[in-house]
Amino acid sequence: MAKHPHLDPDCIFCRIVRGEIPCFKLHEDSDTLAFMDINPVQPGHALVVPKFHSKDLIATPAEWVGKSFTAARRIAEAVEKTLKPVGINILQANGPGAAQSVFHLHVHVIPRAMDDGLTMNWQLKPGDMDAIGKLAERIRANVK
């Protein structure tokens, strides 16, 4: 495997990419690595990481985000074909408030079953349209 100058020596995912820690590899290319999560929330739960260390989505250059999500789609297709789940969540968490546990951009591919007990889904409830509109204006002003 080629050397990757943009990896952190202390990051667990960077160590997996370098082959220092074993994994159940699903796919690897020059830019990404996909492997099974060893703490799965569902059978088939996989992770996709870029071979570029960056703490989260916001800190990661756009090209690496694109590569990561392209690889996540490839893994989701394989999970779909293999397990035929009722659904698949593609999850990417940023920061402790979102329960990010490893500070290296990673994408979860999680096969779902009806009533599987996972709590990441939420019930729809109507929002305050005026407040939503005002917040949209504030966010839109910061879109680059």
pLDDT band at 121 (very low <50, low <70, confident <90, very high): low
Q: What is the Cα–Cα distance from 85 to 43, expressed in whole angstroms?
A: 10
- If you ran DSSP here, which 8-state letter would residue 49 be given? E
Alpha carbons within 13 A on the beta-carbon side of 102: 20
Cα angle, residue 100 at apex, residues 98 and 106 outer, rounded to 5°: 120
Per annotation, catalytic residue among 45, 53, 104, 106:
106
**Cβ neighbour number for residue 124 with a 10 Å cutoff:** 5
Tell whether the model's pLDDT for residue 91 goes beyond 70. yes
Burial class (CB in 10 A: 0-12, 13-18, 19+), 28: middle
At residue 118, the pLDDT reads 87
Helix (H) or strand (E) holding 83: helix 62-83
DSSP symbol at 97: G
**5 contacts: CB under 8 Å, gap ≥ 6:** none
Tell me the pTM: 0.88
pLDDT of amino acid 1: 44
Classify the phi-psi angles of 84: left when phi > 0, otherwise alpha if psi is within -120 to 50, otherwise beta. left
pLDDT tens-digit series, residues 39-72: 999 999 999 999 999 999 999 999 999 999 999 9
Architecture of domain 12-118: 2-Layer Sandwich (3.30)
Percent of the chain surpassing pLDDT 90: 74
Domain ranges across the chain: 12-118
Across the chain, mean pLDDT equals: 91
Q: Residue range 2-13: average pLDDT?
A: 81
Mark whether 106 is an active-site residue.
yes
Instruction: Say what the pLDDT of residue 3 is.
Output: 59
Q: How many CB atoms lie within 10 A of CB 23?
A: 19
